[in-house]
Structure 1
Amino acid sequence: MRDHIPVVVQGSGRRARRAGLAGVLWAAAELTVTVGVVVLLLVVHQVWWTNRQAVAAAQEQVRALESDWARVPDEPGPAEEPAEAVEPVASASSGGEGGGAAPSGPAASAPGRAPAAKPPARDRAYAVLRIPRLGLTVPVAQGIDKRAVLDKGYAGQYPGTAGPGERGNFALAGHRNTHGEPFRYINRLRAGDELIVEVRGRRYTYVVGKVLGETTERDVGVIAPVPRSLVKPEYGYGEPGAYITLTTCTPEYTSKYRLVVWGTLKS
Structure 2
Amino acid sequence: MTALRPERESGAAYGESFTDSYSGVGDQGTSYGQQPYEESGALGEWYGGEGYVAQGQGAAGAEGYGSEGYGVDGYGSEGAAAAQEPYAEPYVEPSAEPYIPPPDDETVALRIPDPPADQSTLASPASSASSATGTPTGGRAARRRAAKGRHGRHGGSRPESEAVDSAESDSEASQAPLSRVEARRQARARKPSPAVLASRAIGEVFITTGVLMLLFVSYQLWWTNVRAHAQADKEASSLQDDWASGKRAPGSFEPGQGFAILHIPKLDVVVPIAEGVSNKKVLDRGMVGHYGEGKLKTAMPDAKTGNFGLAGHRNTHGEPFRYINRLTPGDEIVVETQDKYFVYKMASILPVTSPSNVSVLDPVPRDSGFTKAGRYITLTTCTPEFTSKYRLIVWGKMVEERPRSKGKPDALVS
- The yes-or-no answer on 1:220 pairing with 2:358 is yes
Superposed counterparts of 1:102-117, under 5 Å:
none
| Separation in 2, partners of 1:79, 1:177 | 31
How far is 1:188 from its partner? 0.7
* Alignment equivalent of 1:67, drawn from 236, 241, 253: 241
Partner SS, residue 301 of structure 2: coil
Q: Which residue in the other structure is 1:211 paired with?
A: 349
How far is 1:34 from its partner? 1.6
Q: Which gives a bigger RCO, structure 1 or 2 (Cα 8 Å, sep 6+)?
A: 1
More strand by share: 1
**Are 1:165 and 1:265, in contact at CA under 8 Å, matched by a contact in 2?**
no
Q: Which residue in the other structure is 1:54 paired with?
A: 228
The letter of the residue matching 1:164 is P
Gaps (5+ residues) in structure 1?
Answer: 81-119, 230-234
| Separation in 2, partners of 1:153, 1:16 | 58
* Alignment equivalent of 1:172, drawn from 310, 331, 338: 310
Partner SS, residue 266 of structure 1: strand
Residues 123 and 76 of structure 1: CA distance in aligned 2, closer, same or farther (over 3 Å): closer
Superposed counterparts of 1:1-267, under 5 Å:
8=182, 12=186, 15-18=189-192, 21-72=195-246, 77-80=249-252, 120-159=253-292, 160-166=297-303, 167-229=305-367, 235-267=368-400
Gaps (5+ residues) in structure 2?
Answer: 1-177, 401-414
How far is 1:24 from its partner? 4.2
What is the aligned-residue RMSD (CA, Å)?
Answer: 2.3
Q: Which has the larger radius of gyration?
A: 2
More helix by share: 2
Partner SS, residue 176 of structure 1: coil
Residues 163 and 9 of structure 1: CA distance in aligned 2, closer, same or farther (over 3 Å): same
The letter of the residue matching 1:209 is A
How far is 1:17 from its partner? 4.8
Residues 6 and 43 of structure 1: CA distance in aligned 2, closer, same or farther (over 3 Å): closer
The letter of the residue matching 1:165 is D
**Are 1:122 and 1:141, in contact at CA under 8 Å, matched by a contact in 2?**
yes
How far is 1:207 from its partner? 0.4
Partner SS, residue 299 of structure 2: coil
Residues 78 and 14 of structure 1: CA distance in aligned 2, closer, same or farther (over 3 Å): same
